[in-house]
Amino acid sequence: MTARDDDRLLSWGRVHRGRHRVAGPAWPQDVAFAAAASSEGAGTTLARGLGRSYGDTCLNIGGGLVAMTGLDRAIAFDRTSGILRADAGMSLDAVLRLAVPAGWFLPVTPGTKFVTLGGAVANDVHGKNHHAVGCIGRHVRRFAIWRSDRGVVECGPDTETELFKATIGGLGLTGILLWVEISLIRIASSSMTVENERFDTLDGFFRLAEASADWPYTVAWVDTLSTGDRLGRGVFSRGRHADAGSLEAHGSGGPAVPVDAPGVLLNRWTVGAFNRLYYAKPGSAYRGAQHYDGFFYPLDRLGNWNRLYGRRGFYQWQGLVPPSAAKPAVHALLDRIARSGEASFLAVLKNFGDMASPGPMSFPMAGTTLALDFPNRGDRTLALLGDLDQIVAETGGRLYPAKDGRLPVAMFRSGYPAWTDLERLRDPMLMSSFWRRMTQSE
């Protein structure tokens, strides 16, 4: 198998970019050859799916990448039990097209369906239902990984248990995932029963979150430019799968951003205008039905939306603070953002539950999480993110590695003390730009 040099690969945030040596297997038995071909010269490689990690966890700049999207097949699907075994390169988009018409749905899904099963496991993704069911790792039954020092290893809760746990949320470093077996959930309709409600203050969010504990899916959009008495205002959304209806999978296609937008497109004035319109629109106070695609994946309607931030890209920041500090910490975060004048076009606020993941490196824990996107304006943006880091650090919280392309080493290590165990179990051939920063910096 041959590999090609590619200097165009970047993170989804488009801040990190660099040359890689890339090989793409077509079948699981080709993975060992692809790893060897891609690692030639640098000596390291990394499996890459659809590249939706915002930071540098999906890159190995100067080294190799094994492009996994060619391994995208369903292996076995039991339509009675909802157990699916599929190649690790199969996308959630493809899983839904297969499962929804049969009356099944993903147990956990992030905010985009354009991620692979392997990437979802490697990052132990969470969704709007974390308070109810936890991360996707809780629904993984088994998987197989290829390791350069052992070959193919099948892992499960009772087989290769330590490696099984470390791989869930292990950032793709314990081995290259070949296939994943997960338990889907039964649905009676592809429609959702949805309620959207405005809240005027941050206290309103916490009241609605508490009152919505029996809803399986909850999330809020927050206006990060509001100040004073309106600080923390937003729209709270809750939903559940409808009791009856058709089982139609989502459609395909849609517009895409063809070129990089001007860097000044998203600023405090344009985002401020959007926020005012979004808060006031009729859909912000809505009760009714909605297809699952619009409820879970609104950003997927616009292809290459990351180009809206211009060539310099953007930083995604997602912090998590424990319940005891949630209200004052989130208030401090929003106040600092509002005073900075830096506009976050996407701002998501949510409470996590206390359902622990099998993976010791998983991001969620009980508390409140705030996710934000900021255009990359250099030192000014980095200074703001550093201030947000400090607020989270003072509460004993942590940041999300899959979202953060400049996570400080000290904060990573304090937030994820199990990182030393992951390093011990890491496949010696596998490395990422992120892990190099976290483990080789002193």
pLDDT of residue 278: 76
- Tokens matching residue 15: 């801040």
* Residue 159 forms part of a structural domain: yes
Instruction: Judge whether 223 and 184 are in contact, CB under 8 Å.
Output: no
Estimate to the nearest angstrom the gap between the alpha carbon of 227 and the chain centroid. 29
- Say if residue 107 is in the same domain as residue 91: yes
Is residue 442 over pLDDT 60? no
Note down the domain range covering 259. Answer: 191-408
39-53, 134-148, 164-178, 279-293: least confidently modelled range:
279-293
For residue 283, the model assigns a pLDDT of 77
Question: Do 258 and 373 fall into the same domain?
Answer: yes
Contacts of 62 (CB under 8 A, 6+ apart): 18, 19, 20, 42
CA 152 to chain centre: 27
Tell me whether residue 94 is in a domain. Answer: yes
Judged by average pLDDT, the poorest of 119-133, 143-157, 278-292 is: 278-292
- The pLDDT tens digits for 159-215 are 999 999 999 999 999 999 999 999 999 999 999 999 999 999 999 999 999 999 999
If pLDDT is split at 50, 70 and 90, which confidence band does 88 have? very high
Statement to judge: residues 143 and 206 lie in one domain: no
Write out pLDDT tens, residues 306-363.
Answer: 999 999 999 999 999 999 999 999 999 999 999 998 878 889 999 999 999 999 999 9
Total-model pTM: 0.96
Q: CA-CA-CA-CA torsion for 288, 292, 295, 300, nearest 10 degrees?
A: -150
81/161 same-domain check: yes
For the chain, the domain total comes to 2
Distance CA 106, CA 51 (A): 20
| Contact yes or no for 382/388 (Cβ under 8 A) | no
Residues 344, 388, single domain; the answer is: yes
CATH number at residue 361: 3.30.70.2520
179 plus 240 within the same structural domain: no
Confidence bin at 267 (pLDDT 50/70/90): confident
Using the structure block, give the residue that is written with the tokens 């090989």.
Answer: 23
Same domain membership, residue 251 and residue 379: yes
Q: Say what the pLDDT of residue 379 is.
A: 95
Mean pLDDT of the chain: 95
CATH number where 157 lies: 3.30.465.10
Decide if 328 is inside a domain.
yes
Q: Are residues 180 and 208 in the same domain?
A: no
Average pLDDT over residues 114-125: 98
Give dist(CA 383, CA 406) in Å, integer: 11
* Whether residues 183 and 212 fall in one domain: no
